[in-house]
Amino acid sequence: MNAPTNIQIINGPGGQPAFVVIPYAEYMASRAATPERSLIPHDVVSRTVDGATPTRAWREHLGLTQAEVARRLGISQSAYAQQENSERLRKASREKIAGALGITAAQLDF
């Protein structure tokens, strides 16, 4: 026996599920459970797909220069540029840069 549900699945042209419709109250409850600060904007993901490191993608998305971020970190622009171009940041560096950008360290680690 199937339990009643308020969820509607809409299939695409190939018959495979393409969309899910849920009641607005359930949607809002799920959004409340996922803080906005843990999300990654599409623009940031697009920039990484195009070859930018997550650190660079976030900086550009936020409209900051390397010099501005370096100033926030208390380091030189060239030292920050080296970190920004690194594919593997140390955890401590990732946390400091995230703080300077106003995001969580997890948002840099994708």
CB 21 within 8 A of CB 7: yes
Ranges 21-25, 67-71, 98-102: which has the least confidence: 21-25
- The pTM for the full model equals 0.68
Distance between CA atoms of residues 76 and 31, nearest Å: 39
> Where are the domain boundaries for CATH 1.10.260.40 in the chain?
38-108
Residue with more model confidence, 45 or 28:
45
With H, G, I as helix, E, B as strand and everything else as coil, classify residue 51. coil
Assigned superfamily of 38-108 = lambda repressor-like DNA-binding domains (1.10.260.40)
- Kindly calculate the radius of gyration of the chain based on its CA atoms and give it in whole angstroms: 19
Task: Give the pLDDT band (50/70/90) at residue 16.
Answer: very high
For the cut 50, the answer to whether the pLDDT of residue 1 exceeds it is no
Task: Give the pLDDT band (50/70/90) at residue 86.
Answer: very high
Q: What is the pLDDT of residue 2?
A: 55
Give the residue-averaged pLDDT of 57-77: 97
What's the burial of 84, exposed, middle or buried (CB within 10 Å: 0-12/13-18/19+)?
Answer: buried
CB 43 within 8 A of CB 31: no
